[in-house]
C-alpha cells in the first residue's frame, strides 16, 4: 500500500449528502477482484450518459477537477452496501483523501485499509473547505497527516483527529498484509520451533 504522509492537490466539491457506494461504483462493475481499472467507472451514472458520453456539469468532468486528489463531500459519505470496490475506484481515479462531516463505518474502515485518508470535521470546517474547493484549479489543499492539519489555498489551517494506529498504518503504507509481514521474523521462529517440537504435524 502506498504511504500517505503529506498531500497537496486539487479538492473537488461534492456537497451532495448520502453519496452511497452504488453511486461511487455501480453494481455492474463489481465483477472484478482487481483493484486497478475501476477509476474510469467512478461515479459512472453521474459522470456519463447512458450512451457513454460525459456529462459536462459533473464536477470530475470539469477541466479544473479532472486531476482532483481530494473530495470535500456532504454528510454520510460512503453509505449503502459494504463494497470495497468503492475505495478501490476512488484510489484508481487518484483520490487519496475524502473530507466530510461523517462517513458510513464500513466505508470509513475500508478507506484506511486501501491508503485513503477519510477526515471527519465539524460542519463549519467542511463549509470552509467546500468554499475553497469551489475555486477550481486554484483549490489546492494540503493535508499533512503527520501534523494532522489541513491548509487551504489562503494559508488558513484546520486541525483534524485520526486514530493513532490508523495514522501509523497510513504513514508507513501498512495494510493488513503489511502489518502481518512486520511480524515475519516472529512467525518464522514460531514455525521453526513448532516443526522441531512436533515433526509429525
Per residue in 97-134, pLDDT (tens digit) is 999 999 999 999 999 999 999 999 999 999 999 999 99
The closest of 86, 81, 85, 56 to 71, measured between CA atoms, is 86
Rounded CA-CA distance 200/3 in Å is 42
Which residue, among 182, 143, 125, has the nearest Cα to 1 in the 3D structure? 182
Residue 185 — pLDDT band, cuts 50, 70, 90? confident
Specify whether the CB–CB gap between 88 and 37 falls below 8 A.
no
Q: Where are the beta strands (DSSP E) in 40-96?
A: 70-73
Averaged pLDDT score across all residues of the chain: 92
CATH node for 6-174: 3.20.19.10
What's the whole-number mean pLDDT along residues 84-88?
95
Helix (H) or strand (E) holding 142: strand 140-144
Given a cut of 90, whether residue 175 has pLDDT beyond it is no
Whole-number Å distance between alpha carbons of 26 and 21: 7
Burial of 159 (0-12, 13-18, 19+ CB in 10 A): exposed
- Sign for the pseudo-dihedral over CA of 33, 39, 43, 49: negative
Distance CA 85, CA 157 (A): 32
Domain boundary assignment for the chain: 6-174
Count of CB atoms within 10 A of residue 144's CB?
15
Backbone angles phi, psi at 67, to 5 degrees: -110, 25
Distance separating alpha carbons of residues 21 and 87, to the nearest angstrom: 9
Q: What is the CA radius of gyration of the chain?
A: 19
pLDDT-derived band at 182, boundaries 50, 70, 90: low
At 31, the pLDDT band (50, 70, 90 cuts) reads confident
Q: How far apart are CA 119 and CA 100, in angstroms?
A: 6
Give the lowest-confidence range in 63-67, 103-107, 135-139: 135-139
The reported pLDDT for the residue numbered 20 is 97
Q: What's the predicted TM-score (pTM) here?
A: 0.89
Q: Is the model more confident about 139 or about 171?
A: 171
Residue 137 has pLDDT above 90, yes or no: no
Q: Above 80 in pLDDT, residue 201? A: no
Amino acid at each position: 500500500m502506498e504511504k500517505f504522509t503529506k498531500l497537496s492537490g486539487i479538492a473537488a466539491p461534492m456537497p451532495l449528502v448520502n453519496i452511497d457506494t452504488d453511486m461511487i461504483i455501480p453494481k455492474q462493475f463489481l465483477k472484478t477482484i482487481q483493484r486497478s481499472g475501476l477509476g474510469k467507472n467512478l461515479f459512472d451514472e453521474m459522470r456519463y450518459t447512458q450512451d457513454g458520453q460525459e456529462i459536462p456539469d459533473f464536477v470530475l468532468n470539469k477541466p479544473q477537477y479532472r486531476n482532483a486528489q481530494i473530495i470535500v463531500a456532504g454528510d454520510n459519505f460512503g453509505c449503502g452496501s459494504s463494497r470495497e470496490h468503492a475505495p478501490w475506484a476512488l484510489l484508481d481515479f487518484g483520490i487519496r483523501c475524502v473530507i466530510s462531516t461523517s462517513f458510513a463505518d464500513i466505508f470509513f474502515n475500508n478507506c484506511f485499509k486501501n491508503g485513503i485518508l477519510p477526515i471527519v470535521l465539524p460542519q463549519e470546517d467542511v463549509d470552509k473547505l467546500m468554499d475553497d474547493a469551489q475555486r477550481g484549479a486554484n483549490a489546492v489543499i494540503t493535508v499533512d497527516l503527520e501534523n494532522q492539519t489541513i491548509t487551504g489555498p489562503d494559508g488558513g489551517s484546520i486541525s483534524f483527529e485520526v486514530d493513532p494506529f490508523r495514522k501509523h498504518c497510513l504513514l508507513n503504507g501498512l495494510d493488513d498484509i503489511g502489518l502481518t509481514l512486520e511480524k515475519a521474523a516472529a512467525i518464522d521462529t514460531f514455525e521453526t520451533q513448532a516443526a522441531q517440537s512436533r515433526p509429525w504435524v
